[in-house]
Structure 1
Amino acid sequence: MAQLNPFTIQVSQDVLDDLQQRLQRTRWADEPQNADWNYGTNPQYLRELVDYWQNGYDWRKQEAALNELPQFKTAIDGVGIHFIHVKGKGENSKPLILSHGWPDSFYRFYKVIPMLTDPASHGGDPAQSFDVVVPSIPGFGFSDPVALTDDQTADLWAKLMTDVLGYQTFVAAGGDLGSGITKALANSFPDRVQAIHLTDVGYPDGSEDWSAMSPAEQEFGQYIQQWWYTEGAYNMIQSTKPQTLGYALNDSPVGLASWIVEKFYGWSDTQGNIENSFTKDELLTNIMIYWVTQTINTSIRTYREGMLAAYSTEGGLKSARYVDVPTGVATFPADAPTPEEWARRKANVRRFTNMPRGGHFAALEQPALWVADVSAFFQEA
């Protein structure tokens, strides 16, 4: 049995003082006129966010709020794993492991944890409660700074749930990289994983038989191809030359904020204003988790490790294979417009929901919608 140690976030004041000094010494780039978000990060909004970071944002307040959640660290196969574990208040709470993605963190789920563990206090059915486990992916946040593939992380998650926490069976959910980890978990351990819930199932990559795809799937494939041309530069560099980028992002807090915030804007249902979806405190707390742990480099290197493994693993990664385990899928309008037939091509879909609003970081942006779908599906599964 792996040793389980309670964990409290305690960032050194020296780290916070250094951050302030770096923010004060920012050497700002020139800015195109009327740039808005058309050239990348909106210069005006970034300056506004950084000013708040210096003069209004309170990390100690956010740190205290995060520490209200019971956190732990353990070592599995030599990898240190940080995770939140909150027991449900129902009599028969289902164990549920949640996997985040990039460029978010375990913080993606901070709003939904109380809704899942104590549904009665949030207008839900008290019988539909969960024991919630939210780990930080290796290479992210307070887990060890090591970049692993989805399949490798899924192996750690299975041991965390069974060997460390004692759950013999459980359900799992995730988005972004977390979708890949969740699919790998289901494919590697179908005897333990009863069902999974995803907000994305994978995307057409050009290897499909186009003639066998429905018109909706073909349209989806064209959308994804166009998306890669206009939005996929981050993926290309992180899958090929992450170390080159890592030096800049680890050294400059403004650079780090720019790299992350642009994704939160572009992938969310912001309607032209990022604060329609997230507060400045939420954006900065997520950024701070990367900054204070210096894990931006290992987080982006995860893309490189995944790409290498996908091409070198016989049969491909388990995260990319069809999932036989019962699967629920919720698609949000500001995310990739996944057609139901494509989802069914990728998994044994038992529930498919087109959401009325929201985007890629669904649990953070639209927690009530996400929780309602997750809870309904796992109660049916």
Structure 2
Amino acid sequence: MSMTPYTVAIPQADIDDLNARLARVRWTDELPDAGTDYGVDLASIKRLVSYWQHGYDWRIWEARLNAYPQFTTTIDGENVHFLHVRSNVENALPLLLIHGWPKSVFDYLTVIDPLVDPSSHVGEPAQAFHLVIPSLPGFGFSGPTTQKGWDCFRMAHAFIELMHRLGYDRYGVHGSDWGAVISPEIGRFDPEHVVGVHVTAIFSSPWGNSAEIEALSKEEKVQWQRYLAWQQHQGGYYHMQSTAPQTLAHALADSPVGQLAWNYQNYGNFQNYGKYEKYGDGVSDDYVLTTAALYWFTNTAASSARLYYETAHSARVQHRSTEPTTVPLGLVNFAGDHRTIRTFAERDHKNIVSWNIYDRGNHFATQTAPDLLVNDMRTFFKMLRS
């Protein structure tokens, strides 16, 4: 039950080792005029590596994270790192923020202050939150997991335990990417304490029945085809991490440039029925490199990828309840994120009380549309505070 204060302090020897590896990178070849047809292009990675060597400063980002209180605790046999940022507003609502892959607690640096101190950020005291921001077990400063079975359901139970240890009997949950998978399960498992769940996507799919697809509206059929196109053209990482994460991890654990490129494939503007037209669209090079550096320094390429495998092979997926969740659910969806089909979402969740689709931002909304994200969270939880 103990919680230990934590400060990020990557040893200088690790930073020196990273720089030495970057200095002796062996570049891959590339076909002439290949562009992004085959994946992340060589020019983009060379540009990022050059900045990593000559301009980027990890210590700046380390200090920005250390500006907030951090702790570690052991839950279900694993280390869990988390930020715990309390508002000066005493009756602020506790809010759990859950990231995904390839993301981290660094993602939420853009929204911490507006959520904790709304009066200083175009808000009202009644909109204040106490924030709990964990690193997923196996990710970042939580470090590699040491046991099998850390699927999304086990993570949900771990975060419920974390909130209870912190003394929060009533709290909200927000999740993005894997966080948007884990968050509704927290609501399902702990409905007596969760006031509402706010997500950037609702991952509900047809139950193997072609009639469900035929019954979709014209607009939803187009959306479904866009999702299938994304899956076909850009979903290779999902298949690899769901089937053979350890094979991949041998390469990523030995090459920071490999880790960078593997992450970078996810940052882009996905076209309706094709490839990413531009990698890194909307996110800064500093954000990209901070995330890659975090996975590198903590050596969590393997353990973070295992979340895909563990969930894909979890018996709890096959035996999970198909009863619709009833905890209030809110969706905030951003441009180019085609994975949420309303018909399927309403089948699986009977208390969707907020549904907002925005024409800007993207899958990395904390970086590309933090103002929209903050305002949507404030509006959603305003309905549920009393």
Identify unmatched segments of 5+ residues in structure 2. Answer: none
**Would the alpha carbon gap of residues 321 and 265 (structure 1) be closer, same or farther in structure 2, given more than 3 Å must change?**
farther
Identify unmatched segments of 5+ residues in structure 1. Answer: none
Distance 2:246 2:90 in 1: 48
Match of 1:149 among 148, 151, 158: 151
Distance 1:115 1:267 in 2: 29
Match of 1:223 among 223, 226, 232: 226
Equivalent residue, structure 2, for 1:8: 7
Distance 2:189 2:257 in 1: 40
- More off after superposition, 276-285 vs 16-25: 276-285
Equivalent residue, structure 2, for 1:200: 201
Match of 1:349 among 352, 362, 366: 352
Instruction: State whether residues 71 and 83 of structure 1, in contact with CA within 8 Å, keep that contact through their aligned partners in structure 2.
Output: yes
Q: Equivalences for 1:168-183 in 2 at 5 Å?
A: 168-183=169-184
Equivalent residue, structure 1, for 2:260: 257
Instruction: State whether residues 6 and 72 of structure 2, in contact with CA within 8 Å, keep that contact through their aligned partners in structure 1.
Output: yes
How far did 1:343 drift? Answer: 3.0
AA of the residue aligned to 1:28? W
The count of corresponding residues between Structure 1 and Structure 2 is 375
Cα RMSD (Å): 2.0
How far does the alpha carbon of each residue in 1:44-89 deviate from its partner, in whole angstroms, 9 at most, with x for none? 1110110010011111121111111111101112211000010123
The reply on whether 1:283 has 2:283 as its aligned counterpart is: no
**Would the alpha carbon gap of residues 62 and 37 (structure 1) be closer, same or farther in structure 2, given more than 3 Å must change?**
same
**Would the alpha carbon gap of residues 97 and 179 (structure 1) be closer, same or farther in structure 2, given more than 3 Å must change?**
same
Equivalent residue, structure 1, for 2:72: 73
Instruction: State whether residues 235 and 303 of structure 1, in contact with CA within 8 Å, keep that contact through their aligned partners in structure 2.
Output: yes
SS at match of 1:313: helix
Q: Equivalences for 1:1-381 in 2 at 5 Å?
A: 2-146=1-145, 148-162=150-164, 164-204=165-205, 207-208=208-209, 209-266=212-269, 277-309=282-314, 312-313=315-316, 315-317=318-320, 322-336=324-338, 338-347=340-349, 348-381=351-384
Tell me the TM-score normalised to structure 1 length: 0.93
**Would the alpha carbon gap of residues 135 and 118 (structure 1) be closer, same or farther in structure 2, given more than 3 Å must change?**
same
The list of structure 1 runs, each at least 4 consecutive aligned residues, that deviate by more than 4 angstroms after superposition, is 271-276
How far did 1:210 drift? Answer: 2.9
Distance 1:88 1:48 in 2: 40
Instruction: State whether residues 186 and 196 of structure 1, in contact with CA within 8 Å, keep that contact through their aligned partners in structure 2.
Output: yes
How far did 1:290 drift? Answer: 0.4
Instruction: State whether residues 269 and 278 of structure 2, in contact with CA within 8 Å, keep that contact through their aligned partners in structure 1.
Output: no
Instruction: State whether residues 204 and 345 of structure 2, in contact with CA within 8 Å, keep that contact through their aligned partners in structure 1.
Output: no
Tell me the TM-score normalised to structure 2 length: 0.92
AA of the residue aligned to 2:42? P
Distance 1:321 1:20 in 2: 52
SS at match of 1:323: coil
SS at match of 1:101: coil
AA of the residue aligned to 1:141? G
SS at match of 1:324: coil
